[in-house]
Structure 1
Amino acid sequence: MDASCLRYSLTEEERQTFDKTGYLVLEDALTPEQVEALTREVDRIHDEKVQAGHEANKALFYPNFIPDHKLFLDLVDYERVLPKVWGILGWNIYLYHAHMIVTPPSGQEKSDKTFGWHQDSGRMNVDMETVPRPRMSLKVAYFLSDLQEQGRGNFWIVPNSHLNNTLDKPAGGHGQPEGAIPICVKPGTAVFFDRRLWHTASPNWSDITRKVLFYGYGYRWIRTKDDMTVQSLWADSEPIRRQLLGAGTNCNGYYTPTEEDVPLRGWLERHAPDQVAR
């Protein structure tokens, strides 16, 4: 990893924003050329899934897409984003979850039905005993479509809700929680969000297709959330990328990591010792 990536390190203002609100918006994270190339591959995969029987007008949730193209793999340790991820979570991290979502126009009439609000990680939110629940992980969403207007299947959030274990939803199944907002962004934007942030997908009432790539980073002792087949990529990857793809020396290395388990720590000690904690 080139030390030039440190110019994209998490700033103190960004840290305060993320800690306070639970999310961070990074415009122009991807260049127009990257957006075009990634969109081409997303369209290819979507077409293949439709040909294999997926209903064309239904949203496609496709995990484990990293091995499908090098463009997806290169975002795992993307220089404009990874420094901000380790700035929030630290060096003992890996990609525990990834999914692609393609949301075609629904053809539905617009309504005020309450969306499916949730925190990420399923049983983790039941089994953990603390208030608030621990952060544990975050996601980076790369938006490839123009979502600058509402009604395009936008990602909705309740800012500042990540420290609340519950969320008050409107009675009767209509309307959204107090303070809820849609994320309206242009193509190429990356949105970081704490797994605890209350959020939801929404129907696509527009005539454009929404395309987003989600990269979930968590601590190395967290199990993968989908059946990832990235092990085949380890041999041709540099050490830090191997770490991010889940490689390790043995099972205990996920709990008590050696230098070989976490080359990111050694790299930071050499190039940015102020960013190494614990």
Structure 2
Amino acid sequence: MDPSCLKYALTEEERRTFNDTGYLIIEDALNPEQIAELTREFDRIYEAKLNEGHDPKTALFYPNFIPDHDVFLDLVDYEKVLPKVWGLLGWNIYLYHAHMISTPPNGQAKNDATFGWHQDSGRVNLEMESHPRPRLSLKVAYFLSDVSEPDRGNFWIVPGSHLKDELEMPADRQGQPEGAMPVRVKPGSAVFFDRRLWHAGTPNWSDLTRKVLFYGYGYRWIRTKDDMTVQHLWDRSDPIRRQLLGAGVNCNGHYTPTDADVPLRGWLKEHQPETAAR
């Protein structure tokens, strides 16, 4: 990995923002050429799913897209993003989940029904014995379409709610919880969010299709959340990318990693020793 990526290292202001609010927006994380290439492959997959019978009026949730094209693979260790991920989670990390979502216009009249608010990770939120719940993982959402205006299928968040185990909902299921807001960003933006942040997908009441790629990073002792059929990519990946794609020496190395399990730690010992020491 090129040490020049350290110019994108997590700043203390970014750390405070993420720790306080549960999310962080990096504008222009992708350049126009990247947006165009990613969109082209995104649309190719979407068209294939339509040909397989997907309903064009409903959102497409498609996991395990990393093997579909190298343009997706190259974002796994993207220089503008990965240094911020390890700045938040440390070096014992990998990509445990990835999914793309296409949200077409729903053609329905706008209403004020309460969205499907949740924290990520399912039963983790019931079975972990701590308060607040542990961070464990985060997602990076790369936006390929313009959601700088509301009603475009924006995902909504409640800033600061990552430290709350419960979120009070409107009693009549109309309207959103107190403090809720849509995430409004331009194409090319990367939005980091803590898995504990209460958030919700929303209908698309516009005439534009929302297109987003989600990359989920977590600790190496967390199991994958989708099939993650990426093992065939290990041989042509450098050591750090192999780590991020789930490679390791043995199962125990997920809990007590050696340098062979986590080459990212070895790289950080040389280039960012304060992070490697954690």
TM-score range, shorter chain: over 0.9
Task: Output the TM-score relative to the length of structure 2.
Answer: 0.99
- 1:71 corresponding residue in structure 2: 71
SS in 1 for 2:217: strand
Which string of whole-angstrom CA distances, capped at 9 and with x for unpartnered residues, describes residues 47-96 of structure 1? 00000111111100000000000000000000000000000000000000
Q: Does 1:172 align with 2:172?
A: yes
What is the distance in 2 between the residues matched to 1:240 and 1:148?
34
- 1:11 corresponding residue in structure 2: 11
What is the distance in 1 between the residues matched to 2:63 and 2:187?
21
Q: Does 1:128 align with 2:131?
A: no
What is the distance in 1 between the residues matched to 2:223 and 2:275?
25
* 1:249 partner letter: V
How far is 1:274 from its partner? Answer: 2.1
What is the distance in 1 between the residues matched to 2:258 and 2:203?
46
Mark the runs of 5 or more structure 2 residues left unpaired by the alignment: none
How far is 1:277 from its partner? Answer: 3.3
Which string of whole-angstrom CA distances, capped at 9 and with x for unpartnered residues, describes residues 144-176 of structure 1? 000010000001000000000000010111100
Which string of whole-angstrom CA distances, capped at 9 and with x for unpartnered residues, describes residues 117-150 of structure 1? 0000000000011110000000000000000100
Which string of whole-angstrom CA distances, capped at 9 and with x for unpartnered residues, describes residues 189-228 of structure 1? 0000000000010000000000000000000000000011
- 2:139 corresponding residue in structure 1: 139
* Identity across the alignment (%): 74
* 2:250 partner letter: N
SS in 2 for 1:179: coil
Task: Output the TM-score relative to the length of structure 1.
Answer: 0.99
User: Counterparts of 1:176-191 in structure 2 under 5 Å?
Assistant: 176-191=176-191
Q: Does 1:32 align with 2:40?
A: no
Which string of whole-angstrom CA distances, capped at 9 and with x for unpartnered residues, describes residues 30-57 of structure 1? 0011011100000000000000111111
What is the distance in 2 between the residues matched to 1:96 and 1:162?
20
- 1:85 corresponding residue in structure 2: 85
- 1:107 corresponding residue in structure 2: 107
User: Counterparts of 1:261-276 in structure 2 under 5 Å?
Assistant: 261-276=261-276
- 2:159 corresponding residue in structure 1: 159
* 1:6 partner letter: L
SS in 2 for 1:234: helix
Contact 1:10–1:83 (CA<8 Å) still a contact in 2? yes
Aligned length: 278
What is the distance in 1 between the residues matched to 2:274 and 2:218?
21
What is the distance in 2 between the residues matched to 1:22 and 1:148?
20
Contact 1:90–1:277 (CA<8 Å) still a contact in 2? no
How far is 1:272 from its partner? Answer: 1.1
SS in 1 for 2:99: strand
Contact 2:143–2:189 (CA<8 Å) still a contact in 1? yes
What is the distance in 2 between the residues matched to 1:232 and 1:107?
41
- 2:200 corresponding residue in structure 1: 200
Contact 2:266–2:276 (CA<8 Å) still a contact in 1? no
What is the distance in 1 between the residues matched to 2:52 and 2:24?
37
* 2:94 partner letter: Y
User: Counterparts of 1:251-262 in structure 2 under 5 Å?
Assistant: 251-262=251-262
Q: Alignment RMSD, CA only? A: 0.5
Contact 2:22–2:162 (CA<8 Å) still a contact in 1? yes
What is the distance in 2 between the residues matched to 1:264 and 1:156?
33
- 1:52 corresponding residue in structure 2: 52
* 1:74 partner letter: D
What is the distance in 2 between the residues matched to 1:7 and 1:274?
16
What is the distance in 2 between the residues matched to 1:129 and 1:179?
27
SS in 1 for 2:161: coil
How far is 1:275 from its partner? Answer: 2.1
Q: Does 1:148 align with 2:168?
A: no
Moved over 3 A (4+): none
What is the distance in 2 between the residues matched to 1:141 and 1:227?
19
Contact 2:97–2:216 (CA<8 Å) still a contact in 1? yes
